[in-house]
Amino acid sequence: MGEDLQAWVGRSEAAEDCIDRLRLAGFAATLDRPLEEVAPGGRLPPLWHWMYFQHWVPRSGLGEDGHPRRGGFLPPVHHLPRRMWAGGRVTFHDDLLAGERIGRVSTITAIRETSGSTGPLVFVTVRHVVSGPRGVAIEEEQDIVYRGLAGAAVKPGTPAPPLPDGAFTETVIPDPVMLFRYSALTGNGHRIHYDRRYVTEVEGYPGLIVHGPLQATLMAGLLLRARPGRRLARIAYRGVRPLFDLAPFTVAGAEAGGTAQLWVHDAEGCVTMQAEASLAA
């Protein structure tokens, strides 16, 4: 590999931003929901902070996949071309409001090299601490996975569990406009989400890939609509299988005693992302 990836553990970077209403309104429109319904009083909904702290590099600094060229803050995993979010854990301490200045400190806490059915894998864990005017508002860990092009792009799926009593669901119809808008709102240039020729001919997937963060955000939003007046305290989510824009998909969940099990499944009934969430007392 030529690089000691462990040398990147402990690296940190800081960023600042402002919660502007333009991006709030843009995401609400992308979800086809009124802004005051999803962000009453300008309150940032759970996981919408992923729209902020964007890192835009010149076009000459982008790799073939649309991401910034490897190196810099994240380790240069050059030998594994596929890169995606594997999952994460987020704890919410305080509200963030439109117009507030926010800061984020990001630190690489772990790099793990292993192998799977498709060959070598590298997992990178990044810890983010987001602060607002009243102190720390959000703490999270993100797991990023790098893998090669060998093997099938999509593995056999796991069937979604039967819906328990009291479950709540919604059907989402993905389309290229939704995925393009979310990519733009989050500053994500990864071509697997909007460039059909690239994703099918180069990376070998059957369609555009629905962002993992978007799926997690949809799960959190569904839970809070099913439990109006409650606040999300924590969510841990994990990607299971790629989700494509080829057919409607389902977001589902069930809650009891303040703890919810959430999942997304595709038109074949296979789970693509799952999560466990806790509501504040």
Residues 79, 66: contact at Cβ < 8 Å? no
Residue 89 neighbours by CB distance under 10 Å: 18
* CA dist., res. 146 & res. 81, Å (int): 7
pLDDT of residue 4: 85
Q: What are the Cα distances from residue 138, in Å, to 28, 43, 132, 135, 208?
A: 21, 14, 9, 9, 30
Q: What is the pLDDT of residue 79?
A: 84
Digitized pLDDT (tens) for each residue of the chain, 281 residues in all: 446 899 999 999 999 999 999 999 999 999 999 999 999 999 999 999 999 999 898 999 888 889 888 777 888 888 888 888 899 999 999 999 999 999 999 999 999 999 877 789 999 999 999 999 999 999 999 999 998 877 667 777 888 888 999 999 999 999 999 999 999 999 999 999 999 999 999 988 999 999 999 999 999 999 999 999 999 999 999 999 999 999 999 999 999 999 999 999 999 999 999 999 999 97
Both structure tokens of 147: 């893998």
Q: What is the pLDDT of residue 30?
A: 97
Domains with residue ranges and CATH for the chain:
5-279 (3.10.129.10)
pTM: 0.94
- Strands laid side by side in the 12-18 sheet: 12-18, 101-116, 119-132, 135-147, 82-92, 232-239, 271-279, 259-265, 249-256, 168-172
